[in-house]
Structures are given as structure tokens and as C-alpha cells.
Chains A and B, each alone.
Chain A
Amino acid sequence: MSDEADELAGHAALLDRMEDALESWLRWARVDPAAPRAAGSSPVLRQHMATALIDHRVARTVLEDASAAPRAERGHPLRVLRRRLRIGLQRTADAIAGSRGESVVSWMRLELERLRSLDDPE
């Protein structure tokens, strides 16, 4: 595989892992008769959850577009994707850590460091 293909595969795996983390977060927050005061009852937390879902969905869409682009034209879509992943990881890690604790997102912090090393500093 080319470097770009390797990178895309890595980002796809990261998005899969983030999707699992988001699903787990939503389950943890779920309100039901046995847990009427669960975290999901907070409208403020739901705003953060929505932002995390949006970040993930946008990154997934950009990944699909980058994957569909001819190899020679993948450079720019990859820059767009890295930025979306960095922003999404940062915001999602902060929001989950704020409700469930830092230990749940330690892997996201490491992924963030790795992503920052891939691109120009901002």
C-alpha cells in the first residue's frame, strides 16, 4: 500500500474506535426509569454529545471523499481530514473526560499527539 493508503486505513480505524467510544458514552448517559437523573438528562451535556457526533460524522465523510479521490489528489483531502480528526478528538476527549473522567479518554490523548506529529503545527 502507498503511504496515503496506509494513513487512510489508520484514520478509518481511529474513527471506528471513536464511534465505539461515542456509543459507549451515549449508553452510559442514557436516561431510563431506573436512572432518571442519568447524565443524558443534562441539556448542556447533550450539546457536547451532539458536537462530538457531528465531528465524527464530518470526519467520516471527509475520509470517504479522500479515499475516493485519485491517489495523486489525496494530499489536500488528507489535510482536511487530519484537521477534522484533531479537532474532533480534542473536543470529544474533553467532553467525555468532563463527564466520565480522564482515564476513559487517555487513548484519545495519545492519538491526538500522534496526529499532531503528522501535519504542520497550527
Chain B
Amino acid sequence: MSAAPFDLVEWERFCGAVVRPAARAADEQQCVGDAVWNGLRERGYLQLFHPPSSELIYPAMAALAGACGATFWKATLSAALAAQMIATLGGAAAQTRWLSGIASGRQLGAFAATEAGSGSDPSSYAARLRRVGARWLLSGEKDRIANAGDAQVAAVLCQAENEGGEPLGLALAFVDLDDARITRTRRRTLGLRGMTFGRLAFDGVALDDSDVTLGVTMPRILTIVEWGQVVQILCAVGLGRAALAEAEAFLSERRSFGRPLAAHPWVRAQLDAAGLDLDAAESIARRAVAAKIAGQVAGEQIVIAKIFCTEAGLSACQIALRVCGGWGYTSELAVERLLRDAHGNVPAGLPNDRLRDLLVAARVGVDPWAVGP
């Protein structure tokens, strides 16, 4: 693995010449190929996030996101989200055991919070970490987890309890997913198919104290989850740009009524409007990512960016597909895959409708975490 400084020009070339052409195969074969993964490792992309303070993070992420959404999600959720959970909330032993492997790409990380019946409400998590003698036993399941099928380590958010079954609050467990008492189930997805997504079932997985951090709070967790939202923000903008470029290239070649389709006023207006929306999305995305790179809690800024960018990216993909007519609906053109991928950014990192309520509820005197009609 190279220890040389990150070369952005070479990285952008690699994304365009290697990752983008392999995106269709990643989708069809439901995995990221070795040439892409090894190239990504060798160029030091994953190391950019250790620590995540380089100004090259934004352009590097943007280049990969536009080349292949699934590869981008797989790599960046591991390096920027799972690894940050370990680096920020893990003990020294967990950091020593896992961080260098994730940074080098030899190992893959996952962050496991949601369950089959629980999404953004941690009080309803059923997975339990129970004290038994000198160790902890993790039981239950996590579901709809990115990288669940091939990660080696997961930061698992769960409820902890003492030997008497009394609650100890939220805990984060750093779990070796090669443990024989773990079952993985891959779920089929609409898009981002090169990345595994699914269920992790824990059947009394034994953990040491060094694998467990007690007393974590949701506000603390959410500041790290912001890195996951950065993934969705950049992925959405990258997919939207890629879809518009694909549509533009197709429509420039295809003639109708005596001129290229790209020159028809209604087609032109839709493509231009979608491009303007992505420009606005980039303005706000850059601010949000800059805040994270500076080590700040981005809070409302990133919530706004997540909602706006993921919807602008999805809209751009929809427009790209529509203006390509019947061809857009086929898998001959990449816009079909890009649109499927773009849908994945909206529910992830807390669904946009939920984020909208979090943004406003407190301003109008409503507790956003209270259960109500």
C-alpha cells in the first residue's frame, strides 16, 4: 500500500477510467470488483479519513460518488462512518485492532443501529448487551445495515443491561463479524447493489470490556452519523451529475424533428434547471463538509444539506431518465442504474421526512422524540 500523499489528479483519472466503467458490473454482479477495490486502496482514498481533516476529502469523495454510487458507499461508510465510531468512541484496544485495517482497506467496517422493527427511535432497540460474569453477551439483530454482508467489524448501537437485567443505557459494541455466533442475511435492494445491505443476527456473542463503550448518548452518536449523511449528500450530487452527463451525451447524438434532442427547448430547460439545482446543492454541500472536516458538529447545516442534496440528486436522475424517453427506461443507458442508486440516499442517515420534523419541531414547541399521532 502506498504511503505517498494523496494525488487528486490521479484519483480523478482512476475514478473516470476504472471505477465508472466497472459500475455496471458492480450492479449486475452485486459486488465491487478486485481491480476497483485494490486501486482504491492503493491510491490512499480510505486513508484520507484518518483523521478526516484533509481539504481533499470533498473533491475525492465527489469524484468517486459520480463514478459509482455503490463503491462510494461501501468504501466511505467504512472509512468515514464506522471508523469514526471506533476512533471517537472506541477504547484503545478497539482502535488498535481495527483502525489500521480499515484505513488500508484490508478490512471493512459497518455501523449497525437500525433493526427490523426500529429505525430512528433508539429507545425501541431490542438488541441487548448483557453483563455475564467478566464479559458481555450481545444478542438480538440489526437490520438494513450497509456492508453487513462483507464487513469484518461493526460498531453496534444497542441497549446495555447489568447481570440483574437492569438498564445501563445505550452502548456501542465493537464486534468481530467473523464470530461463529453471528448470522448474516443479505437483502435485495433497488440500487447500490455493489454494496451489501442486510441483517446481522447476534446469538450471544461474547465481548470483552475493551470491546464495549457504555454511556453513549444519541447527540454524541448523531455527530458521528453526520459523516454518514456526508456520504449521502455527496453521493446524491455525484449521481445527479453523472445522470445529467449521460443524458446530455445520449441526447446530443440522437436526432428528432431535424435536430439533436438535446437542443429541443423543453429538454434543454429541464436539463438546465436540474443542473442549477445541483449547483445550489454543491454550494450547501461544500459548507457542510467543510464543517465536518474542521471537526465541528455540523448539526442543522448538515440536516439541511442532506435533505436538499439528496432530493436534488434524485430529481436530476429522474429528469435524466425521462428526457431519454424509452431508452432511459432500459439498462442500456446508465441513467436507469443511477436513478435506482439515487433512491438509496433519501431514507439513509435518517429519512428526509423525519429530518424535516427534527428541523422544525423544537421551533414550534414540539418534542420531536415524543410519540404522537
Contact = CB atoms under 8 A, between A and B. Distances in A.
A61 B365 contact: no
Interface in A20-41: 26, 29-32, 38-41
Secondary structure of the B contact surface, majority rule: helix
B280 A26 contact: no
Interface stretch (A8-16, A52-60, A103-111): A52-60
Interface string B335-368: 0000000000000000001011101110111100
Interface residues of B, number: 24
B364 A31 contact: yes
B279 interface: yes
A58 B308 contact: yes
A65 B307 CA distance: 20
B283 interface: yes
A18 interface: no
B364 A40 contact: yes
B280 A54 contact: no
A90 interface: no
B284 interface: yes
Interface in B259-298: 269, 273, 276-277, 279-280, 283-284, 287
A50 B273 contact: no
Nearest to B361: A46
Taking residues whose C-beta sits less than 8 angstroms from the other chain, chain A's interface range is 20 to 34
B94 interface: no
A25 B277 CA distance: 26
A62 B283 contact: yes
Nearest to B355: A50
B304 interface: yes
Secondary structure of the A contact surface, majority rule: helix
Contacts of A53: 304, 359-360
Given A50-B359, A61-B284, A79 B276 contact: yes
A122 B365 CA distance: 39
A118 to B, nearest CB: 14
Contacts of B355: 50
Contact of A58 (B284, B357, B361): B284
Contacts of A122: 269, 273
Contact of A47 (B283, B356, B366, B372): B356
Nearest to B359: A50
Given A47-B357, A61-B283, A61-B284, A83 B276 contact: yes
B288 to A, nearest CB: 10
A46 B360 contact: yes
B287 A49 contact: no
Interface string A72-89: 000011011001100000
A64 to B, nearest CB: 8
Given A26-B363, A76-B279, 19 more contacts: A26-B360, A30-B364, A31-B365, A39-B364, A40-B363, A40-B364, A40-B366, A43-B357, A47-B356, A49-B364, A50-B359, A50-B360, A54-B356, A54-B359, A58-B308, A61-B287, A65-B283, A77-B279, A122-B269
Interface of B: 269, 273, 276-277, 279-280, 283-284, 287, 304, 307-308, 353, 355-357, 359-361, 363-366, 372
